Amino acid sequence: MIDSINVKNWMTQEEACEALGVRKQTLYAYVSRGQIEVQGDPQHANRNLYRAADITTLLKKRSLGRARKNIAASTMAWGEPIIDTSISTITRGRLYYRGQDAVQLAASATLEDVARLLWNVAEAPHFASFEPVAFDGPIGARVFAALARDAAHDRIESARNLADEVQQAAALVGRLASNFVELRSDEGPLHLRIANAWDVPRHADLLRRVLVLLADQELTSSSFAARVAASTGASLGASMIAGLAVFSGPMHGNAIVRVRQLMDDAKRGGTETAIRRRIAQGEPLPGFGHELYPQGDPRAADLLSAFEAPDDARELIDCVERLTGKLPAIDMALAALVEHCPLPDEAAFALFSIARSVGWMAHSIEHVMEGSLLRPRARYVGLAVGE
């Protein structure tokens, strides 16, 4: 049943038909083929509502037509799927890991459990702790240095088997985690070791939950980069570096920096004033709204339900929803978690990277086993070439 908050994400029959330019019979055909989801209207017993996001998707497909160049171009930015995968998917606003709801898994699973699932192996791996590399620089740079050293010494075999790939993947996740967080022990699940290293053992279960929620999300830019590296025959270490390099951008995994800037603006100038100013200037509201979750990011909702967000974070969330209708995405929830515990400044990006490294390895292994080279083509739009 749709609650009153989410009615704006649905259309009446008349609105849907007008948007699509079709008759009722055609609308029913879309519904019967599973292209548009329909729900009963909670405010009118004899009326149905149609998911607006599904109608938008149909309109986008129609506007592209079937020209090959249009179809290809549409795949590069929130467009049509281009890679077959069994790892994860987003369906009807929910994230699934190999058919299992990620939010439900987050209730009790560990990151090791999720790695077993995503890597499609019988036993959960152990993510060993390593001595962090000696590096005079920021923690992020230290992680790259540690992974680069591993990648440089990786042996690439012409015949690669799943058991060896999984063993190496587990070591790489451990290496990455150990250089983001100076782990004190090699015993127990990773979330407990991280909680102890940050001196927040009472919040270990929150760390477990967020690691599970962030392990993968369909085909992100960083997962695609990891797959491209793996498709060339590069080592898993090289694939891990490729994934992390792309993930470090402020439009992807390091979006937490932009979320914190928004939170700081709200604290300095007043929450509503800061939000209204950004809206008036056409500036984005990082940490709110998600292209793949038009009704709200279920990962964020689940994480925020597991702890009491600080007052300033809660005020920001409520204000943005009231003024724009946008709900918090996982980046906002993660920023609130860091303040709640509290955790070190680099904790948000560290947790996100550690969790997502499991997904990068899943995509890399899947592509290694598939054995095909990813080699997109470019459409030249430069100066005319002489005859």
Q: Alpha-carbon torsion 374, 380, 385, 387, what sign?
A: positive
Q: Enter the DSSP assignment of 39.
A: E
Q: What one-letter code names the amino acid at 155?
A: R
Do both 343 and 253 map to the same domain?
yes
Do both 29 and 165 map to the same domain?
no
Give the helix ranges, DSSP H, for 120-235. Answer: 139-153, 162-180, 190-197, 204-213, 221-231
Do both 179 and 55 map to the same domain?
no
Do both 64 and 192 map to the same domain?
no
Sheet of strand 94-97, all strands in order from the earlier edge strand to the far edge: 88-91, 94-97, 100-101
Do both 263 and 305 map to the same domain?
yes
Do both 209 and 164 map to the same domain?
yes
Residue 191, domain CATH: 1.10.580.10
Q: What one-letter code names the amino acid at 303?
A: L
Do both 50 and 172 map to the same domain?
no
Cα of 273 vs its chain's centroid, Å: 30
Instruction: Specify which residues 328 forms β-bridges with.
Output: 288
List the structure tokens of 198.
């940050």
Domain count for the chain, please give it.
2
List the structure tokens of 150.
């591993």
Beta pairing class for 48-51 and 94-97: unpaired
Do both 174 and 67 map to the same domain?
no
Q: Tens-of-pLDDT digits for all 387 residues of the chain? A: 333 334 468 899 999 999 998 888 888 888 877 788 888 888 877 788 998 888 988 887 777 665 555 555 544 444 555 789 999 999 989 999 999 999 999 999 999 999 999 999 999 999 999 999 988 888 999 999 999 987 876 655 555 788 889 999 999 999 999 999 999 899 999 999 999 999 999 999 999 999 999 999 999 999 999 999 999 999 999 999 999 999 998 878 888 899 999 999 999 989 999 999 999 999 999 999 998 898 899 999 999 999 999 999 999 999 999 999 999 999 999 999 999 999 998 999 999 999 999 999 999 999 998 888 988 888 888 988 875
Do both 114 and 248 map to the same domain?
yes
Among 25, 49, 74, give the residue marking a domain's end: 74
Structural domain that includes position 129: 82-387
